[in-house]
Amino acid sequence: MTFERRITRQLHVGSVPVGGGAPVSVQSMTTTKTADVDGTLAQVYALAAAGADIVRITCNDVDAAQGLAEIIPRSPVPIIADIHYQYRLALAALEAGVHGLRLNPGNIRREEHIKAVAMEAKDRGVPIRIGVNAGSLDKDLLEKYGAPVPEALVESALWEANLLEEVGFTDIKISVKHSNVPQMIQSYRLLSERTNYPLHLGVTEAGPPPTGLIKSVAGIATLLNEGIGDTIRFSLTADPVEEARAGRQLLEFLGLRERKGLDLIACPSCGRAEVDVIKVATEAQRLLEQENLPIQVAVMGCVVNGPGEAREADIGIASGRGRGHLFIKGQVVRVVPEDEMVEALLEEARKLVEEGVEARLAAADANAAAIAEAERLQLVEIKGDANRAAERRARVAEIAEGS
């Protein structure tokens, strides 16, 4: 039996539309400490390269909120802040520029705090996901139902949605995750009958592969095949890159996302960018798609962070002071003139597919890494803090601490 997709309200997480017939999007979550800006960004780029459209990052303390202020301007995909107990951290995350919030109704209980976050999010045009989780359900609902049954999860979600609606906030998406697959399926079925808000699907605490993959596919695919679901996440006890890759593959296998060979990601550019990133990325994608090369390619605006942030990509190029740094798995292998960047990228990509990563790393220019590092340090000295990290961190801390 074939089901038509359930048409829900549409909202936007940054540039990614969710609901309203938009393509089902893939989400994952970083496992790094958010205060580790470079490490977190590297994982965000790896997730984007693996197929994640949206990435969630924890915002559990002031240091994390400050980290978000630096991460967001450099991220290739929209960022959602994961908020648990402290509503002021949600306000700080909004100040940091997040594209979405995830609130757990079982953790933030004071209505005035929830509404304060909703009003600030409304002013900024930032959507909120109501993330109900069977493992952290409100104690009153547990007492009422005796267990985290589907009816309890749905009641929790709709209670929170009503609070947001009371202040005129409707950019809402909802999840009702359960670790028990049949209960998870029934929860979403019930919820889809009660609301037309877009739904985020997932089996919580699915565990490590292969069982975690099997449980996630069983729950998520069942609902997608019934037309339920607008965005998904595999919650695996594994490298989150596996989550993103599995989610993308599932959507492709179900015919909900177009299968493609090339996966090109690019930084959003910033004050350090030495080239027109959009132009270079567009030209690189045009030429590489003609070759139909099944690889992950990164186009980065500067050499300061580029190779490190995109080290999970098979190959990439970063610009620095009139020259391009060509890298494979984060290791610079050639330094070429700026006007030859795209041509060099295409040439090296062909060889990479033919010969493999190890062979191309072995063939790297012996001086490339040293030249690249010297140019990176020089650019940092000249450009300074293009993303105003210190200023942004100070402002975020001020809001989070209520000073």
Position 303 in a domain? yes
> Does one domain contain both 49 and 78?
yes
> Does one domain contain both 303 and 165?
no
Distance of alpha carbon 99 from alpha carbon 163, whole angstroms: 21
Position 362 in a domain? yes
The total of other beta-carbon atoms located within 10 Å of residue 289's CB is: 13
> Does one domain contain both 272 and 238?
no
Residue range of the domain that includes 60: 11-253
Position 58 in a domain? yes
Model pLDDT, residue 262: 82
Per-residue pLDDT 10s for the chain (403 aa) are 556 899 999 999 999 999 999 999 999 999 999 999 999 999 999 999 899 999 999 999 999 999 999 999 999 999 999 998 899 999 999 999 999 999 998 788 899 999 999 999 999 999 999 999 998 898 899 999 999 999 999 999 999 999 999 999 999 999 999 999 999 999 999 999 999 999 999 999 999 999 999 999 999 999 999 999 999 999 999 999 999 999 999 999 999 998 777 888 888 766 556 677 788 889 998 998 888 888 889 998 776 666 777 888 899 998 877 788 899 998 999 999 988 999 999 999 999 999 999 999 999 998 888 887 887 777 766 666 666 778 889 999 999 988 6
Among 193, 218, 253, give the residue marking a domain's end.
253
Position 402 in a domain? no
> Does one domain contain both 146 and 218?
yes
> Does one domain contain both 35 and 140?
yes
- Residue 237's CATH number: 3.20.20.20
Model pLDDT, residue 148: 95
> Does one domain contain both 272 and 376?
yes
Q: Residue 210, preceding bond cis, omega within 30 degrees?
A: yes
> Does one domain contain both 111 and 155?
yes
Among 226, 253, 280, give the residue marking a domain's end.
253
Position 349 in a domain? yes
Position 398 in a domain? no
Distance of alpha carbon 354 from alpha carbon 342, whole angstroms: 19
- SS3 annotation, the chain: CCCCCCCCCCEEECCEEECCCCCCEEEEECCCCCCCHHHHHHHHHHHHHHCCCEEEEECCCHHHHHHHHHHHHHCCCCEEEEECCCHHHHHHHHHHCCCEEEECCCCCCCHHHHHHHHHHHHHHCCCEEEEEEHHHCCHHHHHHHCCCCHHHHHHHHHHHHHHHHHCCCCCEEEEEEECCHHHHHHHHHHHHHHCCCCEEECECCCECCCHHHHHHHHHHHHHHHCCCCCEEECCECCCHHHHHHHHHHHHHHCCCCCCCCCEEEECCCCCCCCCCHHHHHHHHHHHHHHHCCCCEEEEECCCCCHHHHCCCCCEEEEEECCEEEEEECCEEEEEEEHHHHHHHHHHHHHHHHHHCHHHHHHCCCCCHHHHHHHHHHHHHHHHCCCCCHHHHHHHHHHHHHCC
Do β-strands 231-233 and 263-266 pair in parallel, antiparallel, or remain unpaired?
Answer: unpaired
Model pLDDT, residue 387: 66
pTM of this structure: 0.86
Position 286 in a domain? yes
> Does one domain contain both 195 and 244?
yes
Model pLDDT, residue 121: 98
Query: In total, how many domains does the chain have?
Result: 2
Position 399 in a domain? no
- Residue 293's CATH number: 3.30.413.10
> Does one domain contain both 62 and 188?
yes
Taking every pair of Cα atoms in the chain, the longest distance, rounded to a whole number of angstroms, is 69
Distance of alpha carbon 262 from alpha carbon 305, whole angstroms: 23
> Does one domain contain both 132 and 197?
yes
> Does one domain contain both 186 and 139?
yes
Please check whether residue 268 is in contact with residue 72, taking contact to mean a CB–CB distance below 8 angstroms: no
> Does one domain contain both 170 and 317?
no
Distance of alpha carbon 168 from alpha carbon 196, whole angstroms: 16
